[in-house]
């Protein structure tokens, strides 16, 4: 996986346009629950790895964006999931702003460079304030998916 693109990480089923969560813990639970249905890994295993990562330091990177991530031995490739909350939630972000855009990344335990490349790719995408504003205004999963792919292709 040399040139890792966003479309290698997410498909239309990996877009959650209206997360109902009201807290950091609830966001992670909602993301874990949806990811579990797509990658056939127990929800609890996903949630535990995300909580463990948050204990090391917040994945709220600022500008209303968080990139929760972790490694799971059951996976054989990097997996992504995009979620947007209805209302921004306190996520202990680096800039103390509430978060409404989430990109979950899960990687195999031995992913090494692929995991880091995926994180770097997603981080670059969300550093673009214009794409963040478009993602906040987009209607529905299809529009969000198209925006993520189109912007990533241009990056």
Q: Which residues are catalytic?
A: 69
Cα torsion 45, 149, 5, 56 to 10°: value is -40
54: its two tokens: 């948050």
3-class DSSP state for residue 91? coil
| Residue 132 Cα distances to 17, 44, 50, 59, 103, angstroms | 13, 30, 23, 17, 12
Residue 94: how many CB atoms within 10 A of its CB? 14
């Amino acid at each position: 996986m040399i040139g890792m693109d966003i479309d290698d990480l997410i498909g239309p089923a990996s877009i959650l346009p209206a997360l109902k969560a009201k807290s950091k813990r609830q966001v992670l639970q909602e993301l874990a629950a949806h990811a579990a249905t797509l990658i056939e890994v127990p929800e609890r295993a996903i949630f535990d790895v995300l909580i463990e990562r948050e204990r090391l330091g917040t994945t709220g990177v600022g500008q209303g964006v968080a990139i929760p991530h972790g490694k799971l031995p059951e996976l054989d490739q990097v997996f992504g999931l995009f979620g947007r909350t209805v209302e921004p939630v306190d996520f202990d972000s680096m800039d103390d702003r509430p978060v409404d855009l989430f990109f979950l990344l899960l990687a195999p335990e031995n992913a090494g460079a692929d995991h880091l490349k995926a994180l770097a790719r997603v981080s670059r995408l969300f550093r673009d304030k214009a794409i963040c504003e478009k993602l906040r205004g987009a209607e529905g999963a299809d529009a969000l998916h198209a925006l993520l792919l189109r912007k990533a292709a241009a990056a």
